[in-house]
Amino acid sequence: MALPKRVLIREVGPRDGLQNESAWLDTNEKRAWIDLLAASRLPYIEVTSFVHPKWVPALKDAKQLAQSLNKKDDTTYAALIPNEKGLAHFFEANLDVGAMFISSSETHNKKNMNQSIHETLPVIKQMTADLKAEGRNTRAYISTVFGCPYEKQVSMDQVLRLTDILLSYGIDEISLGDTIGEAHPLQVERRLDILLERFPADKIALHFHDTKGMGLANIYTALKAGITIFDSSSGGLGGCPYAPGSSGNVATEDVVHMLQKLGIETNIDLPALIKAAEWIETKVERTLPSHCLRAFHSHTT
């Protein structure tokens, strides 16, 4: 299959990256970083999660941050919403896209949401209805799609079933997550073969981690299957802080650089993106795993 002409990048660094970092940024610092990301013309930035600070203390300023953003017209500002309480904060902050979360592994969902998949689904259904009633766009993450730390394999039937249910709620976009960085390109090929027979490609985003170095191999494979939406994180932020140098989310710079090489349009300013990654690297005070951050930095110093 031919490569797509255009791709949309969903920047998840300020939410998915920071929630996994040991370094804490204050609200002004987060806002400054989000401004740098928006300046690179990223079309979507997930700025925070309206989760209880007991669970993710690094994002305890979610409301203050979301209410004080310097919003740009051509950027979509999103936040993760775990429950109805978070939804109220989301509406107060007046963000554009509400992202919800479920796991395709029962054990992983229990550990993350403290409830079963069966219990999570109606919560998502209600929040989706509320979000749509207010004219907001919606997104849902399905995690552990390519492997689970507890249950190992996750069946394709389960992934299809959940995708089907979530789309039936009217959710605009489903992001399938390789939560533990276990996906390999042959698996991606096989799972997408089945998935895209049933669902349109423009409803499906993929969320890869670069833990074993296969992030871009998986994205290239997905591009060839027709996927045009990918999640990534500035600098490759995220991952396990207790394993120095371990890679979390695939780095936005690496994805955008490869897309440019492939002649695929993203409308993103790569040098500006590198600047944003350089900035956050100084704040988290560790060498981030992004390849292009290193490669391009070495040319300029």
**Nearest one of 120, 105, 110 to 159, comparing CA atoms:** 105
121-128 LR contacts (CB < 8 Å, sep 24+)? 121/165, 123/83, 123/84, 124/100, 124/166, 124/169, 124/171, 125/169, 126/84, 127/81, 127/83, 127/84, 127/87, 127/98, 127/100, 128/100, 128/169, 128/170, 128/171
How many residues lie near its own copies (CB under 8 A)? 40
- Minimum Å gap between C-beta 293 and its own copies is 8
Give the interface segment with its own copies, choosing from 14-22, 123-131, 160-168, 207-215 (CB under 8 A): 207-215
Q: Which residues touch 201 (CB under 8 Å, ≥6 apart)?
A: 225, 226, 227, 228
Q: Are 63 and 93 in contact (CB under 8 A)?
A: yes
Give the interface segment with its own copies, choosing from 71-79, 131-139, 159-167, 219-227 (CB under 8 A): 219-227
**Nearest one of 189, 178, 114 to 148, comparing CA atoms:** 178
Examine residue 285 and tell whether it contacts its own copies (CB under 8 A): no
Please pick, from the candidates 118, 242, 282, 285, the single residue that binds its own copies as defined by CB under 8 A: 242
Examine residue 279 and tell whether it contacts its own copies (CB under 8 A): no
Please pick, from the candidates 75, 179, 221, 233, the single residue that binds its own copies as defined by CB under 8 A: 221
Examine residue 46 and tell whether it contacts its own copies (CB under 8 A): no
240 is catalytic: yes
Examine residue 31 and tell whether it contacts its own copies (CB under 8 A): no
Q: Are 25 and 62 in contact (CB under 8 A)?
A: no
194 versus 262: smaller Cβ distance to its own copies: 262
**Nearest one of 3, 14, 1 to 231, comparing CA atoms:** 14
- Minimum Å gap between C-beta 166 and its own copies is 28
99 versus 219: smaller Cβ distance to its own copies: 219
The maximal CA–CA distance of the chain, rounded, in angstroms, is 53
Please pick, from the candidates 155, 194, 240, 265, the single residue that binds its own copies as defined by CB under 8 A: 240
Q: Indicate which residue of 129, 194, 240, 262 is catalytic.
A: 240
- Minimum Å gap between C-beta 261 and its own copies is 4
- Minimum Å gap between C-beta 69 and its own copies is 30
82 versus 215: smaller Cβ distance to its own copies: 215
Give the interface segment with its own copies, choosing from 15-23, 66-74, 78-86, 291-299 (CB under 8 A): 291-299
Q: Are 64 and 295 in contact (CB under 8 A)?
A: no
114 versus 287: smaller Cβ distance to its own copies: 287
The total number of residues written for the chain in this structure: 301
- Give buried/exposed letters for 207-227 (b at 16+ CB in 10 A, else e): bbbbbeebbbbbbbbbbbbbb
Give the interface segment with its own copies, choosing from 58-66, 109-117, 199-207, 289-297 (CB under 8 A): 289-297
Cα–Cα distance measured from residue 90 to residue 29, given in angstroms and rounded to the nearest whole number:
20
Examine residue 258 and tell whether it contacts its own copies (CB under 8 A): yes
Q: Residue 190: enclosing H or E segment and its boundaries? A: helix 185-198
Token representation of residue 103 = 């796991």
Q: Which positions are annotated as active-site residues? A: 240
Binding footprint of its own copies on the chain (CB under 8 A): 3, 181, 184-187, 210-217, 219-221, 240, 242-247, 250-251, 254, 257-258, 261-263, 287, 290-292, 294-295, 297-298
